Amino acid sequence: MNYEWRKNFLDIKPYTAGEQPKTADIIKLNANESPYPPSPAVEKVIKNGSFDLRLYPAIDPIELKNAAAKRLGARNRISLTADNIFIGNGSDDVLAAAFRAFFNSDKPILFPDVTYSFYPVWCALLKIPYETPMLDGSFNINAADYYKPNGGVVIPNPNAPTSIGRDKDFITDILEHNGDCVVIIDEAYVDFGCYSAVELINEYPNLLVTQTFSKSRAMAGMRIGMAIGSPELIEMLGAVRDSYNSYPLDSIQLKAAIAAIEDEDYFEHIVSKVKATRERTARELTALGFDIPPSSANFLFAEHKILSAKDIFEHLRKNGIYVRYWDKPRISSRLRITIGTDEQMDKLIACLKELIS
Amino acid sequence: MNYEWRKNFLDIKPYTAGEQPKTADIIKLNANESPYPPSPAVEKVIKNGSFDLRLYPAIDPIELKNAAAKRLGARNRISLTADNIFIGNGSDDVLAAAFRAFFNSDKPILFPDVTYSFYPVWCALLKIPYETPMLDGSFNINAADYYKPNGGVVIPNPNAPTSIGRDKDFITDILEHNGDCVVIIDEAYVDFGCYSAVELINEYPNLLVTQTFSKSRAMAGMRIGMAIGSPELIEMLGAVRDSYNSYPLDSIQLKAAIAAIEDEDYFEHIVSKVKATRERTARELTALGFDIPPSSANFLFAEHKILSAKDIFEHLRKNGIYVRYWDKPRISSRLRITIGTDEQMDKLIACLKELIS
C-alpha cells in the first residue's frame, strides 16, 4: 500500500482527555463540572424557545454580548459594552483563538509549569515558543518570574489544578510589568471566590480575561465561553474567528447563554452552595490527614500525609467515586477533587475514612 | 497610549461574511439555507430530550458516528464504521481541521479559482501555499489542471457558486492522479443530485469527503458537519480537534444530529421538493433571458443576457428579496439564487418580470 499521502500530515501527538465514565450511578468528581443543573431559565428556553434552525445563527451575537457586558459591568462596577465581549465554543475555543491572535512573537510566552494542560498543547499546535516558570513549594505563582522579555503571558486565576487564587495586587503587578504584550487571565473558576481582573479591562488595553459557562453556570454540556477585553483585542479575536469558523455557537446555545447570564439569583445561589460545601469538605479532609491549599475554585488539590495519591485514586474508583489523578512530576502526590453535592462529599469522606482506618 | 502590545498580533484581514438581514418579512435566498424546517424529530428531541447539561459532552460522539456510518454506508452501498466518521462544528470547522491536518507541504495545494471563498482564507490563516487553476469558460473544472505535483487537492462537488456537479469518472480521474497527497471532496451540496465520492472511501485511503447538516438537512442554525474517510485520516482529524477544542458540539447538537440522520423519509421528501422547485425555476428564468448552468445544488448561478447582475440584485433587494451578488472578477455578471419554496420563487419570478418588462 502506498502511504506517501501521509507525508504532509501535521506533526502532533493526539491529546488524551480525562476519563468520562458513562455509568449513571457513579460519583463524578473528576472534571470540575457542577453538581447542580443550570438555571431553570436555560431549560425553559431550550424547551419553549422558538428557533429557526434552517437559518445560520446571527454572525454577531449582539444580544448575548449585550447581556454579558451588562452583567459583568455591574458586577465589576465598570462600564462595558458589546465591543468588550467575544463569544466562543467553550473557553477552550476562546483561548485557542487568543493564542493564535496574540502570540506571534519569536520570544516565548510565559505560563506556570503546573497549570491547565491545554496551554502547551495549543503552543505545540500553533508553533508558539513558551517557557514555564516553576510554581514555588506552596504552588504559588511568583510574579517576578513574569518580569522578563516575553511574547505574552497567561495567568490562570485561580490556577488549576492547584485551586489557588491571587489578589488584585498580584494581577496588577503582572500587568504593570507586561505593558508591551498581551496578558491573558484565564478565569475559568473565578466565580467561586477569586479576584476578577475584569474590573481592570478599561485600564489595560492589553488585558484579556477569559471566562466559561461550564463551571459556575453549570453548562459544560453546552460549550459556551467568552473573553472580555479592550475593543482592539476583541476585534482581533473576531477576525481570527471569521478566518476559521464564523459560527462557533448555534442558535440554541446563544439563547441559552442569555437565559443563564440573566438569572443572577440562581447563579449566586449555586455558587454559594458549592463554596459552603467546599469549606466543609476541606475541613473534614484536613482532619483525615490531607494537606489542602486554600481553594478559590470548585475543587480541592489534596495530598495525604501517608497514603499515595494513586492508591487513594484507585480505592475511590473501585467504589464508584471518580477524582482526577495525574502520574506527572510535581503533582503525582495529589488528587484534584471536584466539589459535588453535600451528599456526594459525605460519600467521598466515608469512603476515605474506610481506607484510612 | 502605548500600543506596543499590538506588535505580536496575527497578520490577517478580517473576513467579511454575507448580509444577514433580520427583518422577518424578507425572502432570503442569499445563504443557501433550506426553505423547509429540519425533520420534526429534531424539534422533538430538542424539546423533549433529557440532556445533562452540567456534564461535558461525550468526548467521542460514538452514537452519532454509528448513525452516520450506517446511513452513509447504506446510501453508498459500502461498509462504513464509526472509524470512518469525524464530527465537527459545521463543515467549516471540519474543513479547517482538515486543511491543518493534511496540508503541510511546501508545494501548493490546488483548488478552483471560482469556488467556496473560505478556502483561500484558511490557507492565509494556516500559511498554506495554494494555486487556483481556472475553471473553463463554462465554469467546469478541468481535471488535467490537477495532475501536477501539489501539496493536496480540494474539489467541491458540486462546486459553489457555479452549482455544477461532476460524475464518478471525473472524481476517479482526480484521485488516480493524486495518490500521494490528501484529496478533499467538499460535498456540502451533494444531496441535491450530485455524484457522491463516499462510495470510493474504502478504495482510496487518501480521500476525505466533507458534508454538512446545514443544507439538505435544513440545520444551518445548528452547526453540524462531518468528514468521511479512511481510519487513518479520521484519526488524524481527531488528533487536530483534540489539540484545539475537544468538544466542538454540545450535548443537544449531538442528539439532534442523530434524530436528523435517522429520518431518511423526511430528508428525501424535502430534497425532492427543492429539486423540483429548482427545475421549474430554472426553466422560468431561462424563459426570462437568463443563462443558467445545470445545477446539482440548492441554488442557481444565473446571468441575464441584457441586465447587469448588480442592477437585478438591487432591484430584488428593494423589493425584499435577497440573493447573492459578488463584485469580483469572473463572477460579477452572475447572481447566486438559493432555491426557496415554490411560493418564494413565484415572487422572485414576478419581481424579475416587472424589472425586465
Helix (H) or strand (E) holding B124: helix B118-126
Q: Domain spanning A57-262 has what CATH number? A: 3.40.640.10
What residues in B contact A51, CB-CB < 8 Å?
A: 46, 221
What residues in A contact B37, CB-CB < 8 Å?
A: 53-54
More confident site: A322 or B50 = A322
Range B4-39+265-356: architecture per CATH? Alpha-Beta Complex (3.90)
What residues in A contact B15, CB-CB < 8 Å?
A: 239, 242-243, 246
What residues in B contact A56, CB-CB < 8 Å?
A: 20, 31, 33, 214, 220-221
CA gap B183, B180 in Å, rounded: 9
| Gap from B306 CA to chain A (nearest CA, Å) | 33
Percent of chain B topping pLDDT 90: 90
**Which residue, among A194, A191, A204, has the nearest Cα to A72 in the 3D structure?**
A191
CA gap A220, B317 in Å, rounded: 42
**Which residue, among A224, A156, A226, A141, has the nearest Cα to A190 in the 3D structure?**
A156
In the structure, what pLDDT confidence band is assigned to residue B49 with cuts at 50, 70 and 90?
A: confident
Question: Among the listed ranges A3-7, B156-160, B258-262, which one has the minimum average pLDDT value?
Answer: A3-7
Chain centroid to Cα B32, Å, comes to: 9
Q: How do residues B265-313 score in pLDDT, each as one tens digit?
A: 999 999 999 999 999 999 999 999 999 999 999 999 999 999 999 999 9
Which among B5, B35, B152 is the nearest to A8, CB-wise?
A: B152
**Which residue, among B278, B7, B44, has the nearest Cα to B163 in the 3D structure?**
B278
**Which residue, among A270, A262, A212, A283, has the nearest Cα to A34 in the 3D structure?**
A270
- Is beta strand A207-212 parallel, antiparallel or unpaired with respect to A225-229? antiparallel
CA gap B88, B223 in Å, rounded: 8
Here the cell at position A255 is: 439563547
Helix (H) or strand (E) holding A118: helix A118-126
Tell me, what's the pLDDT at B1? 60
Beta-carbon contacts of residue B302 (< 8 Å; ≥ 6 apart): B285, B290, B291, B292, B334, B335, B336, B337
Beta strands across the sheet bearing B324-325: B290-291, B299-304, B335-338, B324-325
Inter-chain CB pairs, A–B, below 8 Å: 251
Tell me, what's the pLDDT at A1? 60
In the structure, what pLDDT confidence band is assigned to residue B8 with cuts at 50, 70 and 90?
A: confident
Which among A48, A96, A247 is the nearest to B244, CB-wise?
A: A96
Q: Which residues of chain B does CATH 3.40.640.10 include?
A: 50-263
What residues in A contact B121, CB-CB < 8 Å?
A: 243
What residues in B contact A58, CB-CB < 8 Å?
A: 20
Here the cell at position A249 is: 455557537
Which among A42, A53, A125 is the nearest to B53, CB-wise?
A: A42
Here the cell at position B52 is: 445533562
Tell me, what's the pLDDT at B11? 87
Interface test with B, best of A11, A52, A56 (most B CBs within 10 A): A56
Q: With CB atoms and an 8 Å threshold, state whether A89 touches B245.
A: yes
What residues in B contact A151, CB-CB < 8 Å?
A: 8
Q: With CB atoms and an 8 Å threshold, state whether B243 touches A6.
A: no
Q: Report the residue of chain A nearest B203, measured CA to CA.
A: A1
Q: Report the residue of chain A nearest B216, measured CA to CA.
A: A54
Angle between helices A342-356 and A264-287 (to 10 degrees): 10
Q: With CB atoms and an 8 Å threshold, state whether A54 touches B46.
A: no
Interface test with A, best of B2, B3, B5, B207 (most A CBs within 10 A): B5
| Gap from B289 CA to chain A (nearest CA, Å) | 30
What residues in B contact A229, CB-CB < 8 Å?
A: none
What residues in B contact A59, CB-CB < 8 Å?
A: 17, 20
Q: With CB atoms and an 8 Å threshold, state whether A179 touches B124.
A: no
CA gap A234, A275 in Å, rounded: 32
Q: How many other C-beta atoms are found inside a 10 Å radius of the C-beta of residue A261? A: 21
- Dihedral of the alpha carbons of B258, B264, B266, B269, in degrees to the nearest 10: 150
φ/ψ bin of B290: left (φ > 0), alpha (ψ from -120 to 50), beta (otherwise): beta
Q: With CB atoms and an 8 Å threshold, state whether A8 touches B236.
A: no
Tell me, what's the pLDDT at B50? 86
Pick the CATH number of A18-39+265-356 from 3.90.1150.10, 3.40.630.30, 3.40.50.10490, 3.30.420.40: 3.90.1150.10
What residues in A contact B58, CB-CB < 8 Å?
A: 20
What residues in B contact A206, CB-CB < 8 Å?
A: 5
Question: Tell me, what amino acid is at A212?
Answer: T
Q: With CB atoms and an 8 Å threshold, state whether B38 touches A53.
A: yes
Question: Tell me, what amino acid is at A83?
Answer: D
CA gap A18, B326 in Å, rounded: 47
Q: How do residues B309-352 score in pLDDT, each as one tens digit?
A: 999 999 999 999 999 999 999 999 999 999 999 999 999 999 99
What residues in B contact A252, CB-CB < 8 Å?
A: 46, 221-222, 252
Q: With CB atoms and an 8 Å threshold, state whether B102 touches A9.
A: yes
Which among B10, B52, B250 is the nearest to A240, CB-wise?
A: B10
Q: Does domain B50-263 have CATH number 3.40.640.10?
A: yes
CA-to-CA separations, B261 to A90, A264, B38, B76, in angstroms, rounded: 26, 38, 10, 15
Beta-carbon contacts of residue B50 (< 8 Å; ≥ 6 apart): none
Is B325:B309 a contact under the CB 8 Å cutoff?
Answer: yes
CA gap A102, B276 in Å, rounded: 49
In the structure, what pLDDT confidence band is assigned to residue B15 with cuts at 50, 70 and 90?
A: low
| Gap from A352 CA to chain B (nearest CA, Å) | 25
CA gap B115, B138 in Å, rounded: 14
Question: Among the listed ranges A49-58, A85-94, B67-76, B91-100, which one has the minimum average pLDDT value?
Answer: A49-58
Q: How do residues B103-137 score in pLDDT, each as one tens digit?
A: 999 999 999 999 999 999 999 999 999 999 999 99
Helix (H) or strand (E) holding B112: none
CA gap A338, A345 in Å, rounded: 9
**Which residue, among A214, A347, A234, has the nearest Cα to A284 in the 3D structure?**
A347
Average pLDDT of adjacent 10-residue blocks, chain A of 357 residues: 82 70 84 97 93 92 97 97 98 97 97 96 96 97 98 98 98 97 98 98 97 98 98 96 93 97 97 98 98 98 98 97 94 98 98 94
| Gap from A189 CA to chain B (nearest CA, Å) | 15
What residues in A contact B179, CB-CB < 8 Å?
A: 2, 4-5
| Gap from B325 CA to chain A (nearest CA, Å) | 18
- Residue B194 reports pLDDT greater than 70: yes
Question: Tell me, what amino acid is at B311?
Answer: D
Q: With CB atoms and an 8 Å threshold, state whether B243 touches A92.
A: no
CA gap B326, B18 in Å, rounded: 10
Q: With CB atoms and an 8 Å threshold, state whether A222 touches B104.
A: no
CA gap B127, B49 in Å, rounded: 42
Q: With CB atoms and an 8 Å threshold, state whether A105 touches B214.
A: no
Q: With CB atoms and an 8 Å threshold, state whether A55 touches B220.
A: yes
Which among B152, B206, B248 is the nearest to A89, CB-wise?
A: B248
- Residue B2 reports pLDDT greater than 80: no
Q: What is the DSSP string of B61-77?
A: -HHHHHHHHHHHHHHHT
CA gap A57, B69 in Å, rounded: 27
Q: With CB atoms and an 8 Å threshold, state whether A247 touches B92.
A: yes
Here the ipTM equals: 0.94
Q: With CB atoms and an 8 Å threshold, state whether B221 touches A53.
A: yes
What mean pLDDT comes out for the span B31-54? 95
Interface test with A, best of B33, B43, B223, B240 (most A CBs within 10 A): B223
Q: Report the residue of chain A nearest B252, measured CA to CA.
A: A222
Beta-carbon contacts of residue A339 (< 8 Å; ≥ 6 apart): A29, A35, A274, A277, A278, A281, A298, A299, A300, A345
